[in-house]
Amino acid sequence: AREPLGPGAMLLRGFARPHETELIAAIEAIITQAPFRQMVTPGGHQMSVAMTNCGSFGWVTDRSGYRYDPVDPESGKPWPAMPPLFRKLAEQAAREAGFPGFAPDACLINRYEPGAKMSLHQDRDERDIGAPIVSVSLGLPATFLFGGLKRTDKAQRYRLLHGDVVVWGGPARLAFHGVAPLADGEHGLLGRRRINLTFRRAR
């Protein structure tokens, strides 16, 4: 089912569910190579969300700023390759939402434990903001905040559930967005966690 959340933003409910087992196995393999870590913002705050990446580039933050890096700074090695299933799922979802030919070169993997949140922000570290971002939610449900082009625009709240995929492009691409503190719960496959994949064209 396709549900527009606003201009350029399309929710594909349950789109990733048929692949849940393979997706989770692939994430497990990635985190043995590049474990989740809580990064520090340029302002010196440790994020409550733990992150890792796969693909040619990974999004990282430290005291010196935000960047896409071909190398995991924790290991000094390239990020794990993007599994073909990840790439195909992101390309298919983008196509369904009206963005054919999406070729992600970066996948940021976010892990939320109860209480973890992501404050309202824009994603603007990618070179071509004409390319959409595709997000895949797994595990515990989250309340997603979807605002406007100004930080002060009133945000709409959406519940994102296990298997939901959202494609953010066009006028939605630079919208402010965030995630409310994760409520505790137990998910059958992932336990007390939410994992979110975001596929990006970084370079």
Residues forming the annotated binding site? 59, 66-68, 110-112, 121, 123, 125, 151, 177, 194-200
Q: Which is nearer to ligand MD3, 43 or 76 (CB)?
A: 43
Pull the structure tokens for residue 130.
Answer: 């004409």
123 is a site residue for Fe ion (CB under 5 A): yes
Which residues in the 87-146 window bind ligand MD3 by CB under 6 A?
Answer: 108, 110, 118, 123, 133, 135
| Element containing residue 79 per DSSP (H, E) | none
Q: Which is nearer to ligand MD3, 52 or 198 (CB)?
A: 198
Q: How many residues does the chain have?
A: 203
Residue type, 87: R
Q: Which is nearer to ligand MD3, 26 or 138 (CB)?
A: 138
Q: Which residue is nearest to Fe ion (CB)?
A: 123
Q: Which is nearer to ligand MD3, 26 or 107 (CB)?
A: 107
* C-alpha–C-alpha distance, residues 110 and 100, integer Å: 25
Say how many Å lie between the first and final Cα of the chain, rounded.
31
* C-alpha–C-alpha distance, residues 113 and 48, integer Å: 8
Which residue stretch of 22-30, 77-85, 148-156, 164-172 sits at the interface with ligand MD3 (rule: CB under 6 A)? 164-172
Residue 68 contacts residue 59 (beta carbons within 8 Å):
yes
Count of alpha carbons within 13 angstroms of residue 201, beta-carbon side: 17
Using CB under 6 A as the criterion, which residues of the chain lie in contact with ligand MD3 when the complex forms? 108, 110, 118, 123, 133, 135, 166, 168, 172-173, 175, 177, 179, 196, 198
